[in-house]
Chains A and B, each alone.
Chain A
Amino acid sequence: MLKKVALLLCTALCVTSLTGCGGSKKETDGIKYYSLEEINLSFGVDEYPSNPMLVGNDLYYVTTVYPDYPHKYYDDMAMLDQKLGGTDSGISDDSNIEDTPVVTEEPAKDDSEEGKDKATTEPSDDDLIGDMDDVFGDDKPENIAEPAVTDAPEGDAAPADDAEAVDDAVVDDAVSDGSTEDNAKTYDGDPSKGDPGINTYDDLNKKYSDYKTKMILWKYNMEKQKSDSVLETEMENGNIDGMNIEDDGSITLVERLYEYDMATSESKTEVELVNYGTDGTEKSKTSLNDQFKDFDSDTFCINNVIFDKDGGMIVSYGEKSICKLDKNGKSEWDITADNYLDGIVIDRNSDIIISYYNDDGGAIFAKVDCNKKAVGDPIKGISDDKKSSYSMLSGNPDYDLLLKDGNSLFSYDEKTSTKAEMLKWIDCGLVGNMVDKIFPLKDGGFVCSYSDSDGNSKFGILKESENQSVAASKQVITMASAYVDSMAQQKIIEFNKKSDKYKIECKNYENEDDPSAKLASDIVAGNIPDIIDVSGVDINNFAAKGIFEDLSSYMEKDDKIKDNYFVDGLLDATKIDGKQYFLMKYFNIITLAGKASELGKYKDGWTVKDVIDYYNSKPKGTQLLEGDCKDNVFNTLFSNEINSYINWETGEVSFNGEAFKNMLDFCNGFPQEYNYDDAQDTHTLIKDNKLLLSAAYIGSTEEIQVYKGLFNNDVEYVGYPTSDGYGSYISPNMSYAISSSSKHKDAAWEFIKSIMTSEDATNDHMGMMPVSSAAFEEMVKRDSTKESYTDDLGNKVEPRTSSYGYGDYEVNIGPATDDEIQTLRDLIKKSSGVLINSNSAMTMITEEVDKFFAGDKKLEEIVDVLQDKMVKYVNENK
């Protein structure tokens, strides 16, 4: 009996597993090569294409045309700014954002995506500067000084070729800021010439009410390669959220108009469904406001509108809502999801698929069940609980679903629950994160919209072609990377274009559970990449194993990249045992800041004991760091100090010593978790002597000023506690090493050199400092200038005026003083090494120490276990 049941079960299992998985073969060799052909569309200075849509062979898109204000307008505005006491151009910028939502919307999304990716690949930084988030919110610290400036995406500012940069410098800036600032840039406005009768922005708007923003719908015919305007609509402060073009050429738009009342700070939103005839005349207009649940005129926003076959609309709005409107704009159903919605598409089978991020930051895709009015289970094969891997592209007739990530385009097959890679963006000369929409063409290939290296929105056709590098018989140079960000992708594309001998191919470890370990095992297997992106790699371990080539000899031979090419003192900090294993393009300094009046004596470094003594001398309840908790304090005191408990020569470790025990005891005195709910802001805490230290992530003199402000001019960068020397560390960005067994070392060096020497057109280093001393000096000069000038690249440099703050607290960010510059230089010179970012020992220790912090185990037990394990670890690795 039992036998029969078991046999039955087993056969059943085999059969189900066979049928369930038999067909799901992974198509790894389905990758095709495409070449990008840009669609040449001529635009005015202020026009940017948006809302692309492919109907048959026609590409529809919308451009926004801003009014050509006279100089007087800027005079008036400047005067008004002065009158209202604005500290910066914030308000005018704000209004500009609203003028061009179409453009800002898309790069802003990229921004968040990239931020996320960064966060997942470089959390070690987060670790150390974890509490920075509290000061600066979710944005990356580099944005701090320009809180009021538009949310220009970091990725957008990707540097352009030098030549281009000179020509387009003016346009560049405007575009990369996603606003029409260029007018303001070319003509600043002279407050003294302003019209004294204008006292409010209302007055200003009224005076110039004749100048209207226009939106034009174009139709581009692929065969004729020509654009015709189809429709023109005047729209002040409006946005086209959705667009549908029927087969007969009639057009339906979902327009969202808003008015902002400066006086009351309230805005009014009006959502309208407008039908146009084939000739562009308005046929009908319906207000949709009443169709949305909890419509709030002040805050209402639409994320996405998709039209189905019958002309009905699926609208995702607000934070978590989706509704279905019929052709006439009547609501059919309305669903509120559990999570914040990200994307929404209709797949081949006319099912509505949404994507959202779960609490762990994983991207989940799910079908909307229209009958049950509920969001279904995560779709297998693409949803990932932990990782935010893919984002959806518009539904297409040829594939169940199209997905993209930063590296590739995928198609998803619902039947087998598998995805297949279709192309690698980089092979097409595209930066993955910059690709916005993609539409398959009937005869193969795609039309896509993307932002180019200058941040301009472009359209292009991807045509299937042979493998370019094979065709040009280029030598393939492989680069291993835990994560290739947009900037690096851009550089690789540029290098590949320029070089006629070599082609860089990325080997991406992004989707590996443990990129460092996977890379290691690949190296063991002999699949050694030529170039290794060292971010996210256990640098010390790899260096000790002889995997990296010492670059010193290449620098000696090189005519440009020599020691004096770099900022003073920088190379020494990145050397390991006197060898230059990697070079980086940008860097930040990571250190601890405290009050100079109290910590002056430690300005050349302090020890863990000093920290403990200092803290204990303060009254109870004082915070040591922002977001005080056991883990945080432990990481601060320990993560870069791990080697002081280890003697790598003799293999002795001292985790059972008093020093370590005292430190653990000290950390254990802090709360298990920081209570963010009734937390005060950093500035108040410091002012009231309730907060002693702040983790500083420094990328320019801006942060120096921020910390001066936070500490009320009483700031000392004491650094992280360390047993020897001074504890500020370098956090490298775009850092590369050559593998010692590469067969193409010279080519690899050429690539590194091209990265090192490539110039950034916009002079914006995205909150990081350039390693080249020339660029660094340029940055310093720019930051410290009190008068505007035009730099060598033709960029106009303004004296820095910005501010940083929250609530009632604000610090003005002005031109850097000599003192501040000197502080920055000193910090660089004094920094003692590179931030340790990945280390299995650290993982082991944290795991164990957490048990102590959680109260599961006693200190003695922990220390004993750690000592035992670390002896093994150290001796294995010594």
Chain B
Amino acid sequence: MRRKKKVFRVFGTLLALVFAIVFIYPTIVTLANSFMSSTEISSHYGKVFTSDDENSQWWNQKPDKDTTYKNDKVKIRIIPDKVTLSQFAGVLFKSPEYLFKFWNSMKLTMPILIFQILVALGASYSFARFKGRIKEMIFFLYIILMLMPYQVTLVPNFMVANWMGTINTYWSIILPGVFSPFSVFLLTKYMRRIPSSFVEAAKIDGAGEWKIFSRIYIPLCKGAIVSVAILVFIDYWNMVEQPLIMLSDTDKHPLSVFLAQINQGEVGLAFAVASIYIIPCILLFLYSEEYLVEGIAYSGGLKG
């Protein structure tokens, strides 16, 4: 019996290890490759992007393409031939546009993050504290909205932005982002877990709604708030569709869009840019993993 258990554990650990390797592999590849020189990268991966390079739209067709040297073999390398920071140097010092886009990403994501959480806190408090048929219906509406792919809300968003004259400004992305129902859903789920005894106790102490909200709910929700914030941050940090549609001025595009596009052209720098782009996420992750796990755990624990 015991032996069986041991075998099982070893086997399980191995299985988990395999999964873990598969899971972490792309991240490692990205990070490791950022320490290669651009030439090494293009000799490793050049071939991959040659046929994809053919976005030969009619306005930039060139009769003869220059045939630069590309290695025939594609090798995913983890260990660079020579560790160099040249990619990073290239990104940081020679191509300020990357930093510019990084800052654009910040400018887009941060307001959404902060205001979405603030707005959602109020709404989810309302959903969690007060119940009623209409509330349920509204909550259901939120869920429906949350589940809609961006493409469905694309036209409404676009129309509103156009109507408000915010097209090609960050407002066209920030405003709908602030009112996204996703965090309302998660926070509500969490807040409904808070035992009503807490509230009752506070009420007896003569606390008003605002006090209950700010003194009881918010502190208790800290974990959930952090975990929702991380999710929201990652979601908007990676946005691609919204800027493409709303921001015609490519100078305003965030790094995510830019990154998706340089993949084709400048593979050499792409990994370094991608690594830089991961940093805020890693940071968030490292600082708040405990909260995140806790938050995720609680929010999932109870029915909606």
Contacts and interface: CB of A to CB of B under 8 A. Distances in A.
A and B touch in the complex (CB under 8 A): yes
Contacts, number: 93
A521 interface: yes
Nearest to A7: B283
Contacts of A26: 251
Contact of A847 (B54, B64, B92, B106): B54
B286 A6 contact: yes
Contact of B96 (A2, A21, A521, A525): A21
Nearest to A512: B248
Given A6-B279, A417-B96, A850-B51, A130 B286 contact: no
Contacts of B162: 525-526
B96 A847 contact: no
A222 interface: no
B58 interface: yes
B103 interface: yes
Contacts of A525: 158, 162, 167
Contacts of B286: 2-3, 6
Contact of A21 (B99, B276, B280): B99
Give the interface centre of B92, B97, B99, B245 by most chain A CB atoms within 10 Å. B99
A247 interface: no
B51 A854 contact: yes
A202 interface: no
A2 B61 CA distance: 47
A179 to B, nearest CB: 33
B60 interface: yes
B4 interface: no
A123 B51 CA distance: 21
A6 B281 CA distance: 10
B277 to A, nearest CB: 10
Interface string A3-33: 1001101100110111011001010000000
A377 B93 CA distance: 12
Contacts of A24: 100
Contacts of B62: 360-361
Interface in A810-860: 837-838, 842-843, 846-847, 850-851, 854, 856
A515 B59 CA distance: 9
Contacts of A842: 58
* Interface size band for B: 35 or more
Given A6-B279, A14-B106, A526-B162, A124 B58 contact: yes
B282 interface: yes
Interface in A42-72: none
B64 A17 contact: no
B287 A13 contact: no
A18 B57 contact: no
A310 interface: no
Given A18-B103, A26-B251, A120-B59, A6 B282 contact: yes
Contacts of B245: 521
A687 interface: no
Given A10-B280, A525-B162, A526-B162, A127 B58 contact: yes
Interface string B13-25: 0000000000000
A380 interface: yes
Contacts of B237: none
B56 interface: yes
B59 A536 contact: yes
A417 B248 CA distance: 21
A838 B100 CA distance: 33
Contact of A120 (B54, B60, B63, B250): B60
Contacts of A116: none
A9 B250 CA distance: 26
B66 interface: yes
A282 interface: no
B102 interface: yes
B279 A21 contact: no
B285 to A, nearest CB: 9
A127 B59 CA distance: 11
A226 to B, nearest CB: 47
Nearest to A14: B106
Contact of B58 (A7, A360, A673, A837): A837
A359 to B, nearest CB: 6
A876 interface: no
B2 interface: no
A124 B245 CA distance: 26
A521 B161 CA distance: 13
12 contacts: A6-B283, A9-B279, A13-B276, A14-B106, A17-B103, A18-B103, A123-B59, A127-B61, A380-B96, A515-B59, A843-B58, A854-B51
4 A-B pairs with least C-beta separation: A17-B103, A17-B99, A21-B100, A6-B283
Interface of A: 2-3, 6-7, 9-10, 13-14, 16-18, 20-21, 24, 26, 120-121, 123-124, 126-127, 130, 359-361, 377, 380, 386, 417, 482, 512-515, 518, 521-522, 524-526, 536, 673, 837-838, 842-843, 846-847, 850-851, 854, 856
Given A16-B92, A359-B66, A838-B58, 11 more contacts: A3-B286, A3-B287, A6-B283, A10-B279, A16-B99, A21-B96, A361-B62, A515-B59, A521-B248, A522-B248, A847-B54
